[in-house]
Each structure stands twice: as structure tokens, then as C-alpha cells.
Amino acid sequence: MQFGIFTVGDIAPDPVTGRTQSEAERIRDIVRIARHADELGLDVFALGEHHNPPFVPSSPPAILAHVAAVTRTIVLSTSVTLITTNDPVRIAEDYATVQHLAGGRLDLMVGRGNTVPVYPWFGKDIREGVALALENYNLLHRLWREDVVDWEGRFRTALQGFTSTPRPLDDVPPFVWHGAIRTPEIAEQAAFYGNGYFANHILAPDFHFRPLVDLYRKRFEHHRHGTPAQAIVGLGGHAFVARRSQDAYAAFRPYFENHVLFRGTRLEDYAGRTPLSVGSPQEVIDKTLTFREGFGDYQRQLWNLDVLGVPIETVLEQIDLLATEVVPGLRREMAARRAPGVPDAPTHAALVRARYGDAEPRQPRPNANRGDNLTGTSPYQDSDPATPAVYPAA
């Protein structure tokens, strides 16, 4: 099972000091958080995509490419890539590039997001949100698996003989999680392709999203990818951890109760009825184990520790406790409870093994006979006529 952290990159005034970070400071701190998580052996770092203040990660591929260069083992992901308002061609090319730079340490979570105005900013209609999500992912799936794509749909211009470049590393696309908390159509799409389903288990009562997870598991089996227990499920959550429970509540209270989202809400009440985990390492372990009881065995647990204006020093201290006390305890407890046959979270290495076995992975090269889009000629035709005429089959 994978354990990690995610951030949405929000900027909020610190209610204790009154200071508000600059955008430059916030971006640098996101990188510090990712590096610290990598150094301490967490499995995943994920970054959200937002295009409105007070958030700064409008370009996750740029940030993740930099993080890839300064980390060694941690899997990089998105906690949402907007499949509705991004062009799937752009997603295919940007994230294949990051996948190469990260040496395969990349997967992707696609979703609709939760910001209504983003649709017209990118020339889209929110009333078409579900249809956009379905069509755009259908195209993305093909762009990463077919060297030459002919395609026509409702929401973008047709493609004729189009090749997305670079091709995925080892000709194995990044694993995709479909993030959704309200849409059965997205659960169905995830199940149809055998992809992962991620319920960001926050901002709602405990187990509010269980019906969608159950639907995904049933449809995963229907599409013959495995049993419901073998479906690939991820959960998100908020956490604030300190060595003592009373210290965790005292430290987090001003950030939670003074934030515009939660003003007027008592922290203890909210933590008692939602997946928010506040307390000692053992309390966070115990709360997380209830997620397994409610959702079944799952493959990925991410927490957001970096939110609501909590200062960077406090975030790094929480990562320390998460990595050294919470996660080791959860690894033991989850492994002891895990039913036989439940798969691990997919990784690039595992997907390569599943596709090629002991054979060398395919390494795509430019097509010498197709030429470029402007001149129709190829730089390879004169210099090396022996260059293969098509992307060679595996």
C-alpha cells in the first residue's frame, strides 16, 4: 500500500502571526515539502491544479518536472488534473514529458475540479462538465496507446494522423486515477478502463463517498478486470498530527476555526463527524484504519497536511511524524488485515513487467517517412535512409 501527501497550494493568512506568504514563497515551500517527503521515504507526493486565487499551482507539470529533478524515489502525481478544461493533447504531451524526466515516477489523477468559473476561463461550458470529462479522457487514453490517432468528437477539432510526442516512457503510459466524489459516470469510466478510482475523502461526513467506491468495484468486476476486492482504490484525507492529542488540537485550532471555509465550526465537532484526523500518531493511525473498515482494502492513502495557512515549519514537523510514526504503524496494521489477492498500487516498474516480462521495453523513435507537420519532409530521410519507417512494434 502507498502512503503519501498532497497539497492544493493554497495561500491563507496565518491567523497567529498575521502574515501572508508571497506566491514565490509558496511555490518554493511546495518543493521543500516534496523533497522532505522523499527524504523520509513516503511513497507519493501529489499536487492539485487550480487557476484561481488563493491557489498557486496553475501549472502542475512545471512544478512536478522540477520536483522530479530534486527527488529520488517518491512517486509524483496530481491530486487533480482538470480533464474538462485542459486539452487532452496538451495533457498527453506534458505528462509524458514529466514521466520521462521522473524516470517513470509519475502517475496522474484526472477530475473535474471544484471551481465553477474555471470553465468559461478556458472557453468551456460547465453544463457539459461530465461529457467533457468522459470524452477528453477517452481521447487521452488513445493518445498514450496509439502511435497514430484519427479522432473526431464534440469538444475539440478533429485529429488526422496525429502522433502525440514524446511517446510514454517504455511505451507504458502513466497510470491514471479518476478522482470523483459525486459522479457515477466517472466511476463507470474508471472501471471500464481498469484504471484507479480516487475518492478525496474530505469535506464530507465519514464514508459519504462509499456508494461511489462500491459502484466502481462492482463495475470493475463487470468489465472483467478482476474481483471487486482487486479494484484499485485511493482515498484522500486531511490530518494534523502532534505528539500529544491536546497539542494537535491547540496548534491546529486557530488555522481551522478562523478559516473562511470553517468559521463558526468547532474543530472537535468537525473531526468527530468527518475524515479529518487530528491528534497523536496513534490517533491518526486509528482513524485511518476506520477508512479500511468502511471502504475495504485499498491501495493509496494521501493526506493534506499543507493547508489553511499552516506555516512551513509546522508542515515539515508533521511530515516527520507521519513518516516515522504514523506510516510505519499503518503499514503493519494494513498488511495484517489485508485480504489475500488484493493487489498493490500500480507503479511504472510493475506495469513494464506486466507488459514485457523479461523482454526489453519498446523505445519509440521518430517516424522517418511521415515528415513534419509543416514541410512534409523528414530530417532522417537523407541522413539515414535505414531509419525504421514506422514506430517499431514491441
Backbone angles phi, psi at 178, to 5 degrees: -100, 115
Asked whether residue 391 is assigned to any structural domain, the reply reads no
The DSSP bridge partners found for residue 5 are 45, 303
Lookup result for grid cell 498500487: 345
At residue 97's C-alpha, the angle toward residues 91 and 99, to 5°, is 95
Asked whether residue 299 is assigned to any structural domain, the reply reads yes
Please report, rounded to a whole number, the percentage of residues in the chain having pLDDT higher than 90: 86
**Structural domain harbouring 260:** 2-363
Tens digits of residue pLDDT in 318-375: 999 999 999 999 999 999 999 999 999 999 999 999 999 999 999 998 765 555 555 5
Asked whether residue 258 is assigned to any structural domain, the reply reads yes
Q: How many Cα atoms are found within 13 Å in the side-chain-facing hemisphere of 148?
A: 9
Asked whether residue 382 is assigned to any structural domain, the reply reads no
Mean pLDDT within 105-121 = 90
Asked whether residue 198 is assigned to any structural domain, the reply reads yes
Asked whether residue 97 is assigned to any structural domain, the reply reads yes
Asked whether residue 341 is assigned to any structural domain, the reply reads yes
Q: Which three cell numbers stand for residue 121?
A: 476561463
Q: Is the pLDDT of residue 394 over 50?
A: no
Counting the structural domains of the chain, the total is 1
Query: What pLDDT is stored for residue 348 in this prediction?
Result: 98
Q: How far apart are CA 355 and CA 172, in angstroms?
A: 8
pTM, two decimals, is 0.92
Going by C-beta distance under 8 Å and a sequence separation of 6 or more, which residues neighbour residue 163? 147, 148, 149, 367, 370
Q: How confident is the model at residue 164 (pLDDT cuts 50, 70, 90)?
A: very high
Query: What pLDDT is stored for residue 382 in this prediction?
Result: 44
Asked whether residue 378 is assigned to any structural domain, the reply reads no
Q: Is the pLDDT of residue 317 over 50?
A: yes
3-class secondary structure, 348: helix
Tens digits of residue pLDDT in 75-106: 999 999 999 999 999 999 999 999 999 999 99
Going by C-beta distance under 8 Å and a sequence separation of 6 or more, which residues neighbour residue 111? 80, 81, 82, 83, 133, 178, 179, 180, 186
What is the length of the chain?
A: 394
CATH number for the domain harbouring residue 157: 3.20.20.30
